[in-house]
Structure formats: structure tokens, C-alpha cells
Amino acid sequence: MSALLEIKNLHVSVTDTEILKGLSLSVSAGEVHAIMGPNGSGKSTLSYVLAGRDGYEITEGDILLNGVSLKDMNPEDRAIAGLFLAFQYPLEIPGVTNMTFLKTSVNAVRRGRGEEEMDAASFLRFVRDKAKALRLDDDMLKRPLNVGFSGGEKKRNEILQMSVLEPTMAILDETDSGLDIDALKTVAEGVNALRDAQRGMLVITHYQRLLDYIKPDIVHILAGGQIVKTGSPDLALELEKSGYADYVGEVVA
């Protein structure tokens, strides 16, 4: 069976500096992969280039989602194709309620897929059910998008968006950053609730602690713009003890 997400020998430059230097990995449906790596290893670059952000130039290699290359697609078409990125720093949009944003987003994606748009009433029911499943307060839906949200609320809101958009491939960029342990648990619960046999997840993180709550199937270590090691979840624990020094050294050598 072919992989859901396949990254092949990916080279990416940002303003002429090569950040990713031949990164390859593949995620199959139903799998959760974790990518760990030190600062500056290219973790955020990877999430941005997957989502199609401007300014991240693919100089070599390719990204396939369900066998279709994303390379020349703009960000919205990738979203429509089923790719979702939970942002490390979710953006604020003053004056636009969370509900309006979610509805606009869901309908944009549905339209893009040639599906019928949801009317206000059925969307309301749909999103309330989703929020309830994530044990989120209805109140959060009425507030302007991420404005005045605490760090924990912002991350939970990303998970809500993910559950509403029902992506086939979700990338979680440092979802644990800025969270206290309770918020971390809540967010992890949300993510776990969205694990699904049809869905792939790529969890990008700096620390092992998130992986205590979201148990990955496979762990990759990213250093110097490449995957330097791939293994079982034990790899993350190992890393917690010994640090990244060995791997950083490996690449330089």
C-alpha cells in the first residue's frame, strides 16, 4: 500500500540558504509519526513547506499526498486536498468570530472539493458537537479568533479546527510549546480523540514530554536538515537522556 504522505529527498532553501537537505519520510494512513530535533534543525521549515508557505523554495525532491504532488499547489489547495497544519503560533484575526472563521473555512474546503456548502443551522449543530467532544466551552466559538486567547486556548482551538476540517493528514507544529502540564494533557486528549485509521499525523516537537501523552508509532530525529535516525517510541526516551549532541555531530561529520 502506498503511503499517505511521502516526502522524497526534499531540499528546501529560504533566501538562498539551504535548510532541508534531502529529507525523506513516509507516513501511512492511521499512523502517528513524531519528528524531534534540536533548535535550527529545520522542524518549522518542514511544517511550512508542507503547507506551502511563500518563501520556502523546493530546490529538489517532492512531497506527495495520496500520490499527488503538492509541490506546485498553493496553500488553500493543499488544505482542500486534506492537509492540515496546527500552527505553533496561531494567528489572531480581530473582529472575526471563531464560529465565522470555522464556517468560512469549512465551506471553502467543501466548495474546493465540489461538495455542497453547509448552511448556518447545520453548521452550528456540527461545530457544537465537535466542541463538545473536545470538551470546549461554547463561549470560545463566539470570541474573535484567537484574540485574547491564552496559550492553551489557542492550541485547543487549533485542535478544534482540525476536528472540524477532518483532514486526512495533520501536521502538529510544536503543539506543546507554551503549555503547562494540564493544558498539555487536554490538548493531547484532543489529538488522541482524532486518531483514526484513515488519518495520518506528523507531530513535530522539541521535547519528549508531549510524546508521553500522544504515543507515536514511529519517531524520527531531524538534525541538520535531514532525518538522521528513525525508530520506535523508545528513541524519544533515549534522546531525553542523551540529548541531541550525538546526532548534530553526525551530520557535521
Partner 1 sequence: MSQAKENIEKETVEQVQSLAGEKYKYGFSSDIDSEKAPKGLNEDIIRFISAKKEEPEWLLEWRLDAFERWLTMSEPEWAMVDYPQIDYQDLYYYSAPKSMDDRPETLDDVDPELLRTYEKLGIPLSEQEVLAGVKNRVAVDAVFDSVSVATTFREELASAGVIFCSFSEAVIEHPELVKKYLGTVVPKYDNYFTALNSAVFSDGSFVYIPPNTCCPMELSTYFRINEPNTGQFERTLLIADKGSYVSYLEGCTAPMRDENQLHAAVVELVALEDAEIKYSTVQNWYPGDEEGRGGIYNFVTKRGDCRENNAKISWTQVETGSAVTWKYPSCILRGDNSVGEFYSIAIGNNYQQIDSGTKMIHLGKNTSSRIISKGISAGKSSNAYRGQVSVHRKADKARNFTQCDSLLIGDTCSAHTVPYIETKNPTAILEHEATTSKISDDQLFYCQQRGLDAEEAVSLIVNGFCKDVLQHLPMEFAVEAQKLVGISLEGSVG
Checking DSSP bridges between strand 218-223 and strand 32-36, what pairing results, if any? parallel
Number of residues that bind partner 1 (CB under 8 A): 31
Complex with partner 1: residue 21 or 43, whichever CB lies closer: 43
Q: Mind spelling out the 3-state secondary structure of 144-208?
A: ECCCCCCHHHHHHHHHHHHHHHCCCEEEEECCCCCCCHHHHHHHHHHHHHCCCCCCEEEEEECCC
Binding flags for partner 1, 146-165, as an x/- string (CB under 8 A): ---------------x---x
Applying CB under 8 A, among 19, 79, 227, 239 the residue interacting with partner 1 is: 79
Complex with partner 1: residue 24 or 97, whichever CB lies closer: 97
Task: In whole angstroms, give the CA distance from residue 78 to residue 71.
Answer: 10
Counting contacts by CB under 8 A, is residue 144 touching partner 1?
yes
Task: In whole angstroms, give the CA distance from residue 97 to residue 82.
Answer: 24
Complex with partner 1: residue 85 or 222, whichever CB lies closer: 85
- Kindly state the smallest distance separating residue 246's Cβ from partner 1, in Å: 34
Counting contacts by CB under 8 A, is residue 248 touching partner 1?
no
Q: How far is CA 126 from CA 100, 186, 196, in A?
A: 13, 21, 19
Q: Where are the beta strands (DSSP E) in the chain?
A: 5-14, 17-27, 32-36, 56-65, 68-69, 83-86, 169-173, 200-205, 218-223, 226-231
Task: For the segment 104-133, give every residue that binds partner 1 (CB under 8 A).
Answer: 104-106, 108-109, 112
Complex with partner 1: residue 13 or 100, whichever CB lies closer: 100
Nine cell digits for residue 217: 508509532
Task: For the segment 49-78, give every residue that binds partner 1 (CB under 8 A).
Answer: 51-54, 74-76, 78
Q: Kindly provide the b/e burial profile for residues 128-137, where b requires at least 16 CB atoms within 10 angstroms of the residue's own CB.
A: eebbeebebe
- Count the neighbouring beta carbons within 10 Å of the beta carbon of residue 100: 15
- Kindly state the smallest distance separating residue 121's Cβ from partner 1, in Å: 17
Complex with partner 1: residue 106 or 183, whichever CB lies closer: 106
Binding flags for partner 1, 208-237, as an x/- string (CB under 8 A): ------------------------------
Give the interface with partner 1 as residue ranges (CB under 8 A): 51-54, 74-76, 78-80, 84-85, 87, 90-91, 93-96, 100-101, 104-106, 108-109, 112, 144-145, 161, 165
